[in-house]
Structure 1
Amino acid sequence: MVSFFKQKGQKSKKQKTDEKDQSISKITQNIDSSITTNLDIVKQKTGSSPDIIIRTLKISQNPQIKTTILYVQGLVDNPSVTDFLIESIMKNPHLKEKVLPHEALEVISKDVVSLGGVETVMDWEKLFLSLLSGDSIIFIDGINIALVASTKGGERRSVQEPSTNSVVRGSREGFTESNATNIALVRRIINSPDLWIESMKIGTVTNTDVSIMYINGIAKKGIVEEVKERLKGINIDSILESGYIEQLIEDQVMTPFPTLDHTERPDKVAGGLLEGRVAIFVNGTPFVLLVPALFIQFFQSVEDYYARFDIASSIRFLRISIFLFR
């Protein structure tokens, strides 16, 4: 009796493994030419989540061509999806009656969709990454290629005064949880083409956007390459905050002093970049990392940038003296 249940359990486990392998192989293959098959894969992969919106469109000039738009509710800019995507496809006169599916793909990408950043994808990995980043996906029946339209948006916190590093004299702008907004805040201060940015995805599950920023010609190439190598060497499921990055790339762990600096002030990041440091932006947090960090740097206030050099130096010397003789 015991062996019977054991064999039954092993068989059931094997069946589940085979079904899982078949499911994975089905999802990891290229996009199919059938909209029905593609939608089944999307529903299977996302668990038929209700926030995945599927809109099937009728092209007035050519109802024979089936078109479907997918997007994630809350991650897209709704006016862009409605006005510049859905209505453009449904009412655009370029989609004539005799146009073929592959011709419709080209017409939609070049003439119909009036949004920037329209590109084609053929594999599911890139498609899901774009979909869950706030882009909209366009499927055309009979074509094994999908269109990705940039419609990122949704509710975000506005730029406010930072709750930490408060100053009497200086900027009142603070970083938000959006990488794009944070990078733009620094670009407003440093209007130079030498301000370079490189982005990557870290986290096998979260696929968090991480960007590094530095001024070409001021930051040492060795430091920039070291930062890149350490970030690329991170192998972790999730990055929820810049503190994850800080712990994974720092040199010394057994020390009470921080080895990386963090701030939510764009002016402090700009000052660090002008001194040759590298900034690390992590999407989802208002705290930006600055590397490398020196011990003397933690005796400096952001207001020191705005004071006369003799006054700022005297105040900094006073801070160091209090720390040493206290």
Structure 2
Amino acid sequence: MATDRNDEDREIGLLEALWQYKWSSLLIIALAGLLAGAATVFVFTSVEATAKFAVTDPRSTTFLRQGVSSDSSYIAYTSQRAAFTESAGVLDKARQLLAAEHSQQIGLEDLRKAVEAKPGTNGGIVEVTVTARTDRMAAQIANAVVAAYQMLTEADAQREQQKLLKSVRSTRARIEAELKRAPPRSTTAVTLGEALVQLQLKEGDAAIDLAQYGSGVRFVDQANPLRVTPSQAPKNIGIGLAVGMLLAIVIAFLRATNPISAAQRVTSGTGQRQRTSKPATGVPSPPPEPAPVVEDAGVEEDDVTAVYDRDKLLGYVPRTHPSDNGVPVDSGAGPTTGKR
């Protein structure tokens, strides 16, 4: 009994538990690595491509300032242009460019999910990041979005210039009509003449502003469609194997220290404790004590506990034999403790 108690109370190390359940642990580790590789191939397959462009500072123009007058307002203007890059108009134009130039049919909602535009940390820079299944597709979408932004921004600037020119021309026509009715060399004629000159200068400045502002972009850093993103499969498989190793160690340790499992290891199939011997430590162990001798041949040597049949005990009837002079004789319902 002391040997069995020592076997149950002995602490089991992590490596010992892992070695005890080595095959199931190897299966857990292999499955974890396989799941990580499958997730890399079928789930984590998206790549990113980034295109950058610098917005034109509207303070360099005379009529296209758009309310920008300081550095803080210029930073706010850059954030507005980044939001405009993600607008439905720009994305729809990019979708048309992709269909015309690269034969890619992409829905507007898919573009909304794939495209992210945000202002850079230095101000005046807008970064367009696109997530797609391949590097080429991501780069093509990013470049198409930047091109669509330039087209729509230039179109907006042209509309603003046309509004300004229309107003200038309307005012000039009115001044020219009044100048014809004014007396020559009069004060009114001189004033109207100066106003007409200012309108002509304003019309020329508007044309210069449009040329300077252009598409609203100073330069573009396009995404490279030939770039190849390294595969993440080896890295993810390594992570999966490491996680599987930790999981296998924990499961093996829990199984090894489970009280039910420990009891099953030290208990035989007949319900009796197994007499286990400790490994030799260099000191001879004392000889085992002899088992008690039982005279009755009907009781096994290993089992010293008498087993009674309840039905035979309840139905016991003493019998007599002629040679015993009418003395009742035991019918054999229970075991005897000695020979007659």
Q: TM-score, with normalisation over the residues of structure 1?
A: 0.20
Structure with larger RCO (C-alpha < 8 A, sep 6+): 2
Bigger fraction of residues in strand: 1
Bigger fraction of residues in helix: 2
Pair member with larger Rg: 2
